[in-house]
A and B are shown apart, each in its own frame.
Chain A
Amino acid sequence: MSSAHYAPGPADHVPPELVRDFDIFSLPAGVEDPIAHWAALVDGDTPPIFYTPRNGGHWVLLDYEHIREAYRDHARFSTYQTPVPPIEPYPVMQPQGVDPPEHKRFRSLLAPLFTPAAIARMENGIRRRARELIAPFAGRGRCDFVREFSAVLPTGMFLHLMGMPEERLAEFHALSDVFMRSNDEAVRAANIADIYAVIDDHLAWRATHPGDTDLASVLLGARDEHGQPFPHQDLLNCGFLLFVAGLDTVTSTMTCIWRFLATDETARHHLRASLANRERLSAATEELLRINAVANLYRRVQQDLAFHGVRMRRNDRVVLPNSIANRNARVFANPTTIDLEREVNTHMTFGVGPHRCIGAHLAKAEIMVSLQEWLARIPDFRLEPGVRIEAYTGPVMGMRNLPLRWSNS
């Protein structure tokens, strides 16, 4: 297989009227809300399927139904070798980077650890961690939400999932902190190598100290149809995928939600009144997830095709922005209104189809428990005035800091 087997070709099949200049990795100076920046794409004259020459050139889909179709049609839109800009060969992230039916192997291994029932058993652990994080700053009257809460909680849950000893929390948090905050290429490359090394080290330890329910032990104990263990590299990539998919996403979703709550007294009130009512809190959380959909997913076109009248070529990249799908007026009544009692809310924050976020129930539990614990201790809070919020965009978008303030009586 040639080394450029999956590189997109030249864009000479793209008609000029479908071309727009949009860089998924950069925000104009002064923009502090990355989601609003993306949402603005639908306000102008941008075609619902457009092509940007940035980052190696790729399509962006803006229509809910188109995005849904691309998610569900892996025969036309593959998750194998998709990075934007193209890097080849790209490590195959199990199970995200594999199409059905092979996708099922690793998906099935992980699935029992992520069912609603399995996550319900983790709720006490989430609650304990959330309380421990809030306690030191509740009386202080201020915190940086990212550094002191939203970046730490999911790291703790990752540790728990992987069956890593609690002593590694600080070390691991330092690694994830660099992963989430650095945009220096060399620093990032070294950081990724460090994360792989820690996962490798942990797998080696678990090989001699097997547990029953932790992910490392489940992966190590798994056998393929010939009774053989899976290739070590697949196990490493699966561990790394969970790190990539389960930390940054939860951190930035929570950060977006808390930023909104800091500015909206009515929403805080509604949530405080819903904390003990699971169905109400769940519906409100789904609406917060709809509005704060931080992931933009990648696909690779499998063969030359016409998609809703647009010619696409094999290996063209396609970007699926969930935040835009979630603001579609044909699907959501009053799409820009944040309605915490929204009745029908088929948002795509966690994707749809075979790769539907396996961690969705964990993410939702982390958010719901955090709302309960936070609002019980800190019922009202606001943004620290005059501090710049550093926003970023890309496959995951969010904020690197969120200074909050409250009266500490």
Chain B
Amino acid sequence: MKVDVVIDLCQGHARCQDRCPEVFGTDEIEGKCVILQPDVPAGLEQKARLAVRNCPEGALIILD
């Protein structure tokens, strides 16, 4: 499973980071999403999927 962020849509809610800090972080300038692990490690798929669904901007995508 791969995840990515459409950075122009991201408004820095950090809901992704709250839900799955292993995969999603935020930068220190704008507070926007930084994907820490684009290849979601085995065992974290469910958490990462929930993080994606909790983004209020619909800025996160699951690639496969």
Q: Which of A25-33, A112-120, A209-217, A233-241 contacts B (4 or more CB under 8 A)?
A: A112-120
Q: Which of B26-51 contact A (CB under 8 A)?
A: 26-31, 50
Contacting pair B30 A352 (CB below 8 A)? no
Contacting pair A360 B30 (CB below 8 A)? no
Contacting pair A352 B18 (CB below 8 A)? no
Q: How many A-B residue pairs have CB under 8 A?
A: 59
Contacting pair A354 B31 (CB below 8 A)? no
Contacting pair B56 A347 (CB below 8 A)? yes
Contacting pair A116 B17 (CB below 8 A)? yes
- Whether a CB of chain B sits under 8 angstroms from the CB of A182 is no
Contacting pair A352 B31 (CB below 8 A)? no
Q: Quick one: given A279-B18, A282-B18, A354-B11, are A344 and B50 in contact (CB under 8 Å)?
A: yes
Contacting pair A356 B13 (CB below 8 A)? yes
Contacting pair A344 B27 (CB below 8 A)? no
Contacting pair A350 B26 (CB below 8 A)? no
Contacting pair A115 B26 (CB below 8 A)? yes
- Whether a CB of chain B sits under 8 angstroms from the CB of A108 is yes
Distance A343 CA – B54 CA, assembled complex (angstroms)? 8
Distance A345 CA – B53 CA, assembled complex (angstroms)? 8
Q: Which of A25-78 contact B (CB under 8 A)?
A: none
Q: Which residues of B contact A174 (CB under 8 A)?
A: none
- Whether a CB of chain B sits under 8 angstroms from the CB of A18 is no
- Whether a CB of chain A sits under 8 angstroms from the CB of B23 is no
Contacting pair B27 A345 (CB below 8 A)? no
Choose one: A117, A282, A354; the contact of B26 (CB below 8 Å).
A117
- Whether a CB of chain B sits under 8 angstroms from the CB of A7 is no
Q: Quick one: given A115-B12, A279-B19, A360-B13, are A352 and B57 in contact (CB under 8 Å)?
A: yes
Q: Quick one: given A279-B19, A356-B11, A356-B13, are A116 and B54 in contact (CB under 8 Å)?
A: no
- Whether a CB of chain A sits under 8 angstroms from the CB of B55 is yes
Distance A348 CA – B14 CA, assembled complex (angstroms)? 13
Contacting pair A112 B13 (CB below 8 A)? no
- Whether a CB of chain B sits under 8 angstroms from the CB of A353 is yes
Q: Quick one: given A279-B19, A344-B53, are A352 and B11 in contact (CB under 8 Å)?
A: yes
Contacting pair B11 A116 (CB below 8 A)? no
- Whether a CB of chain B sits under 8 angstroms from the CB of A346 is yes
Closest to A352 in B: B56
Q: Which residues of B contact A354 (CB under 8 A)?
A: 11
Contacting pair A116 B50 (CB below 8 A)? no
Q: Quick one: given A111-B29, A114-B31, A115-B28, are A361 and B14 in contact (CB under 8 Å)?
A: yes
Contacting pair B54 A344 (CB below 8 A)? yes
3 tightest Cβ-Cβ pairs between the two chains A and B: A115-B31, A356-B11, A346-B56
Write 21 A-B pairs (CB below 8 A) sorted by A numbering. Answer: A111-B12, A111-B29, A112-B28, A112-B29, A112-B30, A114-B31, A115-B26, A115-B27, A115-B28, A115-B31, A116-B26, A118-B28, A282-B18, A286-B18, A344-B50, A346-B55, A348-B56, A352-B11, A352-B13, A356-B13, A361-B14
